[in-house]
Homo-oligomer: A and B are copies of this chain.
Amino acid sequence: MTARWIGARVPKLDAPAKAAGSTRYLSDLSLPGMLHGKIRRSDRVHARIKRIDVSAARAMPLVHAVITAEDISNVRFGHGKDNTPLKGDRVRCVRDELAAVAAETEEAAEAACRAIRVEYEDLPAVFDPEEAMRPGAPQLHEGRPDNVAFTYDYSHGDIARGEAQSAHVVEDSYELQFMTHCCMGASAILAAFEPDGKLTLHSLTQVPFLYRRDMAAIVGMRPEDIRVIQPAIGGAFGSKLDIYPYEPIAVHLARATARPVRIVFSRQEEFLASPTRQPARIRMRSGCDAEGRLTFRDADLVLDNGAYTSWGATTPFVMMQSVSSLYRVPHVRFKAVVPHTNNPYSGSFRGYGNLQATFAVESQLDQLAQKLGADPLELRLRNSHEAGEETGQGLRFVTCGLKDCLESAAKMSGWKAKRRPRHDERVRRGIGMASMLHVGGGAKIYRSDGCGSALSIDDFGKATLITGSTDIGQGSETVLAQIVAEVLGLSVDRVKVINTDTDVKPWDVGVHASRTSYVAGNSALMAASKAREKLLGAAAEQHRVPPSELSLRDGFVCRGEERLEPLDKLVRTLHFSGKHELLATQAYFEPGSVHQDREFRGNVSPTYAFGTHAVEVEVELDTGVVRPLGVWAAHDVGKVLNELGLEGQIEGGVVMGLGYALTEELKVREGRILNPCFRDYHLLTAPEVPPIRMSFIETEDPTGPFGAKGVGEAPAICVAAAVANAVFHATGVRFTRLPLTPERVLEGLIAAGVTQDPAAPRSGS
């Protein structure tokens, strides 16, 4: 039977409300008696706190509470258990939380924050992660004398053998910048204690069930007494994977005042105190034999952890996958260290380290192609994995559309024709490509990577899916509705998806690792299939036909082309006549992935997404301006579930990748952020976005719902490498540091002699 809803172009279910401006974000919510919370942050990058004087603040009008570390149980939390909600003895970065105020108005709370007097004793600070590891560097945390929070050592094969087999070897260093999520909705929380002592949190968390547990430990409650409600979110992109200090602070303020307390970051605060993408320095060597077969890859990474440890410190898990398994490489070594500095601390960000790693891996592919004198496309095709392979790290590619992606991106972009060098103009064009590998069905990092679903069909034939999963704008709600609609032969507008309340929805690990369409999709599919079976069984009994001859279509039970009975009538018959049954099913889907072992080996995701982007750029040699002219994105999505949604995901990812490549950098100098506003932080604007064309490779993964894979993170990952490769193609200059701002590019072009230094005396005059 032809799919009616799977693969269709279905507008996101939340689109009408968003377009109409009636969506209520957290900053639109209020509760009776609600107070406004504000945080007083550190002025220093590293200092001992001698005294915090809140007496003036407490005496101010409209102020209900001013709290410092002394007033609360200041429990250590976070992935490294090295952070506290408020800082009592020491600040380690400028965003550090010293005190918090709850007041009747935001203005009063701000005024009180300003009235808090803090006496510091400055401590020596360190801002460079490599310096931080040197003996004698200022130590940030007890028990970490070398400031290293985490180290990741991985290898397969034998690098020495790989080197020995190599005809060509390249080695380079890559430097990736601080970047921040720039969610349009700033960080926010609304904490309210119920009169029975239970806590309701309106929160932006991506992982509500883990959040409940972790928050309970921080604020000294039982997890079962915390309810998390997830209002519409103005962007997350990984930034809501952790708990941040402002969240328990809001709870402590609500407790201190016995009033609901809402904290909403200002835009400046959002730049200052929301997480960042890890800056990374990557030293990489790789080689290939004379036929262009990759021989080895050897990578050393230093990530700037910042002052505290968040989930971001675990991004090497993902980085090493691309180093180990993007293309066939028999010998791989990967080492990452994550030292503390007095910089703002890093978090999780769409791609989870993969943008950094892929930038190095895919730059080196082009560097090897150049040495080999091969077309970069050909080199990639020669080394591409195929379905059925298992990589050195143990990733199993049940399906793999990488070759198709490479060929599709090349074809769409007119690769062959555009690769001809045109090296005479002052404005030069070039085309580059890069591929990516990413988990496509979650990553088993918790005890379960699964998702629960409860499905019911009411007497009017409307289906309600209560899914454990979380939609942070990626459109999974719509995809889940399509899956249910497809299985039950209903129109999508007759499917309601509920997913925002831990009191109502079943367990799910949360939204991360591009898992929702895959994991929650499979879970919804299970629940819907059970419902279908029940319905067809009942209809078969009623109409005395074998269930196998029946189907559900367009709201009817059908036998072949014949419509036997409307679905709602069948449900009512089940409900009201004789059986008195409601049509309700439930399911829990656990993906077939495994925890990796201590050597980081194991199939961490049940399926993997692949993609190739080709990017054409124009480089103004006289100004250093790099202008993207087009992006051609080919993605192995397994199966298109919602074409419109996929296009949106990929366009958004490409734009995010272009920002990473060209314009976005959170400028941190000596621990201070120099550009905490959209004027100075250059997010790509609409006129700067080139045409984006895409193709979807349908490898129909047998484990995915209708064959689909998750691609939430994929499209952001390989843009930067493709851009750098295109700039190299245009100019012959290899850039290894992002973003490719006009200043940096011009400097590089001058250094390479492509452009003459306008400040230098003209040679010919």
Contacts and interface: CB of A to CB of B under 8 A. Distances in A.
Interface string A196-225: 110000000000010011000000001110
A503 interface: yes
Contacts of A568: 224
A506 interface: yes
Interface in A432-464: 447-448, 450, 452, 454, 456, 458-462, 464
B590 A580 contact: yes
A462 B507 CA distance: 13
Contacts of A581: 588
A496 interface: yes
Interface stretch (A2-10, A14-22, A333-341): A14-22
A24 B195 CA distance: 12
Contacts of A16: 194-197
A224 B458 contact: yes
Contact of A507 (B450, B459, B503, B506): B459
Contacts of A577: 447
A32 B506 CA distance: 30
Given A452-B582, A588-B580, A504 B224 contact: no
Nearest to A28: B32
A522 interface: no
A575 B195 contact: no
Contacts of A461: 224
A13 interface: yes
Interface in A206-246: 209, 212-213, 222-224
A582 B586 contact: yes
Contact of A447 (B19, B448, B452, B576): B576
Contacts of A586: 582, 584, 586
A498 interface: yes
Interface in A14-40: 16-17, 19-20, 22, 24, 28, 32-33
Contact of A504 (B447, B498, B576, B582): B498
Given A17-B195, A28-B32, A195-B20, A575 B222 contact: no
Given A223-B460, A504-B504, A507-B582, A575 B448 contact: yes
B590 A196 contact: no
Nearest to A19: B195
Interface in A444-493: 447-448, 450, 452, 454, 456, 458-462, 464, 466, 493
A79 interface: no
A493 B575 contact: no
Contacts of A462: 224
A185 B24 CA distance: 27
A476 to B, nearest CB: 18
A679 B484 CA distance: 57
B588 A224 contact: no
Given A224-B462, A458-B507, A450 B580 contact: yes
A575 B507 contact: yes
A563 interface: no
A494 interface: yes
Contact of A460 (B32, B224, B447): B224
Nearest to A30: B30
B456 A506 contact: yes
A581 to B, nearest CB: 6
A196 B493 contact: yes
Contacts of A22: 32-33, 194-195
Interface in A149-177: none
Interface string A503-534: 11011000000000000000000000000000
A33 B21 CA distance: 11
A433 to B, nearest CB: 40
Contact of A582 (B13, B224, B588): B588
A122 to B, nearest CB: 44
Given A32-B22, A459-B507, A464-B503, A17 B575 contact: no
A494 B226 CA distance: 11
A462 B226 CA distance: 11
Nearest to A449: B580
Contacts of A454: 454, 584
A444 to B, nearest CB: 11
Contacts of A28: 32
B222 A460 contact: yes
A33 B212 CA distance: 33
Interface string A559-587: 00000000010000001110011101010
A736 B757 CA distance: 111
Among A32, A458, A494, residue most surrounded by chain B Cβ atoms (within 10 Å): A458
A572 to B, nearest CB: 8
B576 A17 contact: no
A523 B461 CA distance: 23
Given A461-B224, A464-B504, A576-B448, A196 B17 contact: yes
A13 B196 contact: yes
Nearest to A584: B586
A452 B506 CA distance: 18
A654 to B, nearest CB: 28
A164 to B, nearest CB: 46
Nearest to A568: B224
A542 to B, nearest CB: 17
Contacts of A213: 459-460
Contacts of A458: 224, 507
A477 to B, nearest CB: 12
A12 to B, nearest CB: 11
Nearest to A466: B504
Nearest to A461: B224
B224 A452 contact: no
A611 to B, nearest CB: 30
Contacts of A466: 504
A456 B507 CA distance: 10
17 contacts: A16-B194, A16-B197, A22-B33, A196-B493, A213-B460, A222-B460, A224-B568, A447-B577, A448-B576, A452-B582, A454-B454, A498-B503, A498-B504, A506-B582, A506-B584, A507-B582, A586-B586
Interface of A: 13, 16-17, 19-20, 22, 24, 28, 32-33, 194-197, 209, 212-213, 222-224, 447-448, 450, 452, 454, 456, 458-462, 464, 466, 493-494, 496, 498, 503-504, 506-507, 568, 575-577, 580-582, 584, 586, 588, 590
Given A224-B460, A224-B494, A459-B507, 16 more contacts: A16-B197, A17-B196, A19-B195, A20-B195, A22-B33, A22-B194, A196-B493, A212-B460, A213-B459, A223-B460, A447-B576, A448-B576, A448-B580, A454-B584, A464-B504, A506-B584
Which 7 pairs show the lowest CB-CB distances between chains A and B?
A224-B462, A16-B195, A20-B195, A580-B590, A224-B460, A447-B576, A16-B196
